[in-house]
Amino acid sequence: MAAKLLTKAQKKRLLKNGEEQRAARERGDSIDFRPVVKLFTPDAQATWLLSELYPDDPDVAFGLCDLGMGFPELGDVRISEIEALRGPLNLPVERDLHFTAKRTLSEYAREAHAAHRITASQFRRAPARLFSMQRPQPPAPRNHPTLPYTPTRHTKLGCSPAYQTQEVEHLTRGRSSPHPL
């Protein structure tokens, strides 16, 4: 059986946001919540950022909906319809387990409208450097009189710098190498 899209804690938070929004609208105001949950299709490009559930009908959520056609929009969606969806590879919609909203729903919507989709860059924190994009530096060149170590020579021979040095020593003394180049 497939896992539920919303945890109990998320559903509780979404309902609480819905109640607060209803109270704010009765006062003639509205609240711009941060999304509580991100749902997505793993084999398609549909994404939903949901911020509230309607207290009168908890199957209806409000959020930023992007069906992958270039027109993300704020609106209502039925959770039961999302649960029934399948992508091209027949995979169900999933909840992003690592999603934490960093901004309000309207900020996500503004960026999505500009990009014509909800992009992964909207969820990144500060640019993190997981690994260096620079190539590792080769070891310091050996001071060999006939053949200084260079990375191109190393890669062409496909052997270690120490082996190259041994080969050069054998060749420069006029002996044949135990291992032909």
**Which residues of the chain are under the pLDDT cut of 70?**
1-3, 120-181
Instruction: Give the model's pLDDT for residue 2.
Output: 47
Q: Tell me the Ramachandran region of residue 61: left when phi exceeds 0, alpha when psi lies from -120 to 50, beta otherwise.
A: beta
Q: Are the beta carbons of 51 and 14 closer than 8 angstroms?
A: yes
Give the number of domains in the chain: 2
Answer with the one of 73, 97, 123 that is the final residue of a domain. Answer: 123
Helix (H, G, I), strand (E, B) or coil at 61: strand
Put the strands of the sheet holding 37-40 in their side by side order: 73-78, 60-66, 47-53, 37-40, 94-95
168 Cβ contact list (under 8 Å, min separation 6): 144, 146, 147
Instruction: Give the model's pLDDT for residue 153.
Output: 44
Q: Are the beta carbons of 80 and 121 closer than 8 angstroms?
A: no
Specify if 128 maps to a domain: no
Instruction: Give the model's pLDDT for residue 4.
Output: 85
Dihedral over Cα of 24, 28, 33, 37: its sign: positive
Instruction: Give the model's pLDDT for residue 11.
Output: 96
Indicate whether this model's pTM tops 0.85. no
* Domain identity same for 56 and 85: yes
* Domain identity same for 114 and 147: no
Q: Per residue in 30-81, pLDDT tens?
A: 999 999 999 999 998 899 999 999 999 999 999 999 998 989 999 999 999 9
Which structural domain range is residue 173 located in? 138-181
Q: Are the beta carbons of 112 and 72 closer than 8 angstroms?
A: yes
* Domain identity same for 54 and 112: yes
* Domain identity same for 156 and 73: no
